[in-house]
Structure 1
Amino acid sequence: MEKKINNSKILKGKVVSDKMKDTVVVLVERYVKHPKYEKYFKKSKKFKAHDFGNKCKIGDNVVIRESKPISKTKSFVVIKNSSEEKIK
């Protein structure tokens, strides 16, 4: 039996909404270099991620991993919450 290689995306971001049940909205920012002017600028995108048990709060820094689609717009799962590490 062959081992399956997991090539899912892992992203870091900040929780901007936690109003939905078992779901958080994570804002992921990245720096992109302009091809002509060679200046770096910020690009951001919001992803909905599954948060089992509603553990994440607004302002938490989280790590999310791509998974199979959970709903129409949700295909990421929260794998690490930085605020939990500070408390422990």
Structure 2
Amino acid sequence: MNSHKKSYTGMVVSDKMDKTIVVAVKERTLHRLYKKYVNKTKKLKAHDERNEAGVGDLVRVVECRPISKDKCWRLTEIVERAK
């Protein structure tokens, strides 16, 4: 894995598309004015070549070249399988 590419760890929320998963990445940030932690979620479409990830899996995705209009992330590993 190259160090200059971004990588995120998140939960798979959809695997209905062929060779594509939707990963929800949660982030806790401190609000500048109110000094309160706010949860932010971003959804990334990632390329899953072998269709091995399922809904509920904790996965790591890494930045890659654009594969389609929305897809510029690639599945690198499944950290934890869904129970």
CA RMSD of aligned residues (A): 1.3
How many residue pairs were aligned? 80
Q: 1:64 aligns with which of 61, 64, 77?
A: 61
Q: Report sequence identity in percent.
A: 41
Structure of larger gyration radius: 1
> Does residue 25 of the first structure (1) align with residue 25 of the second (2)?
no
Q: Could you list the structure 1 runs, at least 4 aligned residues long, displaced by more than 3 angstroms after superposition.
A: none
TM-score by length of 1: 0.86
Q: Which runs of 5+ in 1 are unaligned?
A: none
**With structure 2 as the length reference, what TM-score do the two structures score?**
0.91
| C-alpha distance in structure 2 between counterparts of 1:54 and 1:36, whole Å | 43
Q: Matched residues in 2 for 1:70 and 1:56: separation?
A: 18
Q: How big is each residue's C-alpha offset from its partner over 1:47-85, in whole Å with a ceiling of 9 and x where there is no partner?
A: 00000110000000000000010000000000010246x
Choose which of 2, 6, 10 in structure 1 pairs with 2:7.
Answer: 10
* Structure that is richer in helix per residue: 1
